[in-house]
Amino acid sequence: MGAAAREAFAALHLGKTATMRKTVGESDVYLFAGITGDLGPNHVDEEFMRKTPYGRRIAHGVLAVGFMSTCSTKVIGDLPPAAVVSYGYDRIRFPKPLFIGDTVTVTYEIVERDEATMRTFAKVTCITERGDTVAVGTHILKVVE
């Protein structure tokens, strides 16, 4: 392992955290829907959603995963010059809906490290201003030589 890679991996220590907060706007949902092609009624049809148990449109769950990605970029920050990449997400769940207008706080915390593979594992949570957990998952970062 090169010196820069060792230094970068060492900087991704247990307990390292990043957070972000954002109010989910109408434009966030429509831009995401347009980019992905997911124009499902759950996200873009207010009248349809009024007749469901949710009572209104919900944001895409994967939009919350995008916010998780923002936090991973923040935790990497200005590490020594080495390639640190997302190795993927495990156990992603959306326990409650994320509504348009909700302010979501995303917390990213490195909770495990694997020296042999140069991977870190982070617990990531997305919680609204009401205290509802709307997304959770494990994110894996990998330092590449």
* Domains of the chain listed by start with CATH number: 3-24+63-144 (3.10.129.10)
On the question of pLDDT at 1 being above 70, the answer is: no
On the question of pLDDT at 56 being above 70, the answer is: yes
Model confidence pLDDT, tens digit, residues 72-85: 999 998 776 678 99
- What is the pLDDT, as a whole number, of residue 22? 98
Q: Strand pairing of 17-23 and 103-114?
A: antiparallel
Instruction: Mention every residue, 6+ apart, whose C-beta is less than 8 A from residue 20.
Output: 67, 70, 71, 74, 105, 106
Instruction: Output the pTM of the full model.
Output: 0.92
